[in-house]
Structure formats: C-alpha cells, structure tokens
A and B are shown apart, each in its own frame.
Chain A
Amino acid sequence: MNTNRDLNEGSERPATRPTTPETTPRASLADGDALEPRLTSPALHAWLDGEISDASLAITERPQVIAMWKALGSDADKLRNTATPSSVEAIVMQKIRDKGRP
C-alpha cells in the first residue's frame, strides 16, 4: 500500500518518511485552489457525485478501480443504516435528571 504521501491538508503533522518528488506534499491547499489531477480521474469524481452513469465511467476507468469504489460504497451503505445505541438516550436523560433544568 502506498503510504508515503502526506495526506494532511496543512502542516498539522510533520512528514515521517522521505517522499519522492512526485509525491511531495504541497504546503497547504486552500479551499479555492485548483485540484491537480492525480489518481482519481475527473470521470470517477463525476461518477461518485452521481453525475455520470456506470456505462460512461467504464469507458475511461479501470474496472478494478470501479470495483474498489463500489465496494467502499456498499460498505458505506451498511454504516448508513447504523442506529444509535439505546444507552445514549438513557445515560443522557439520567444526567439531565440529576442536573435539573438547563
């Protein structure tokens, strides 16, 4: 797994290992800066944003990459159905009863 890219937005954490020129982190990317095209193609971003179809994406993107993002999407769907443990409400309400009015 390629882990030698500094994936942090700013300088919150110093680099912990040498980087190659093409993976040297940018100092800081402000919100308005243009994104340099790297691993993720514009078509893949558009597909992940629901702007183009599977068929359109398949023309330009590797099947393995599409499969990876679909797997991540399926996993996210499962997480999207996660409910809050009932203990949260019980504990919060008990603390509120102990305290009284806000």
Chain B
Amino acid sequence: MTTAQPVMTDPAEADQELINRILAGESELFSILIRRYSDPLYRHALGMTGSPDVAEDILQSSFIKAFNHLAEVRGRFDAWLFRIVANGCKDWLKNIRRTHLSYDEDDQPSSYATPEEDLDRTELRTDLDRALAHLAPSLREAFVMKHVEGRSYEEMAELLHTTVGALKMRVHRAREALQALLEEKYA
C-alpha cells in the first residue's frame, strides 16, 4: 500500500504566495505572516532593548511598516522583515544613548526596563541587561543573536549581510566586555 507523500512547499515560496494575495486585497492574511515570524523577532527586540514594552512597540511598528511596503519585498520575506526589526532596535538604542549622552555613566539607566518590569526578572537577567546596555549596538546585536536567539554564525551572516568572521569577532568582543562587567560579581 502506498501512502500519499506530503507536498513540501518552500517556505519562501509560501510566503510569496501569501504576499501576492495580501497585495491583491486579502489583507487579513497578513496575520499568518505575523504568527509565523513574530516570536523570534520579539525575542530579538527583547534582547536588544531589555524592555518588553519597547520590544512590543518596535515589533508593532515593524509589522505595520512591512505591511505598508509589502510590494517592495525581494528575496526572502523573513530576512527582509528581520532587517526592519533589527534596524528599529538599533535606531531605538541610538536614540536612547543620545538622550543620555550628557549624563555621567553611573547616572545612565543601566537597562531600559521600567521598575515594574524589573520585578519580573532574575537578578542575573537584570545584570546582564545592564551589561548589554554598555555594548555598541552591533556587538549587542551579535551577542543577542548568537546566545539569546541561538542562531548559527552562518544564519546570522545571511540575515545581517556580513561575513561569519566579522560576526565571530563581534561576538568575541561582546563576550570580553560582558565578562569584564559581570565577573567581579559572578566569578
């Protein structure tokens, strides 16, 4: 007896088919793309900002931006969407750094979570967020993608349009910096 083989659909093709239908007027189908990709993107925004509220805001504005520019998607939708979210996170980090440039380092908000959000965190998570806040956005991004999102260097290179070697360098520099900040307390 033979069994029917499942039809294997290329995820990129499936996304493009959905996009075509959304562009043709079936806007409600955009919710499928949200559900398909929101979790890793939310975790990226959370790792980058340290604040659930900010991560949620960045994700919402990124999805709306993606919807408004859906006709411009070329290549993989998930990679295109990731770059919108990643740029949103880096813009937010640059803005918050600029806001606090005139303060002494000890006066700066060490992490960007509200006190209420901090209550939900472990001490280690809070310290890690504070340490991450000291990193340049590109180092923080590389560390979060490698260690929080659990991505491979190859996947990171594809998403960020750079080389594996460059990303290993960023991750190594981020680890150095975090160890310098955390080891007195934890090691």
Contacts and interface: CB of A to CB of B under 8 A. Distances in A.
Contact of B147 (A38, A72, A85, A96): A72
Given A62-B187, A68-B182, A73-B147, A102 B124 contact: no
A3 B181 contact: yes
Contact of A8 (B68, B70, B104, B135): B135
A35 B169 contact: yes
B38 A84 contact: yes
B162 A38 contact: no
A29 B72 CA distance: 35
A55 interface: no
A84 B40 CA distance: 8
A21 interface: no
Q: Chain A: interface secondary structure?
A: loop
A80 B150 contact: yes
Interface residues of B, number: 67
A7 B180 contact: yes
A31 B166 CA distance: 5
A14 B100 CA distance: 12
A87 B136 contact: no
Contacts of A62: 187
Interface string A10-43: 1011101100000000000101110100111000
Interface string B22-53: 11010110110011001101110011000010
A35 B134 CA distance: 19
Given A9-B139, A93-B30, 5 more contacts: A29-B169, A33-B169, A68-B187, A88-B56, A93-B34
22 contacts: A2-B184, A7-B177, A8-B135, A12-B97, A13-B101, A17-B105, A31-B163, A49-B168, A64-B183, A64-B187, A65-B179, A67-B187, A72-B147, A72-B182, A75-B128, A79-B43, A84-B42, A85-B42, A87-B56, A101-B23, A101-B25, A102-B71
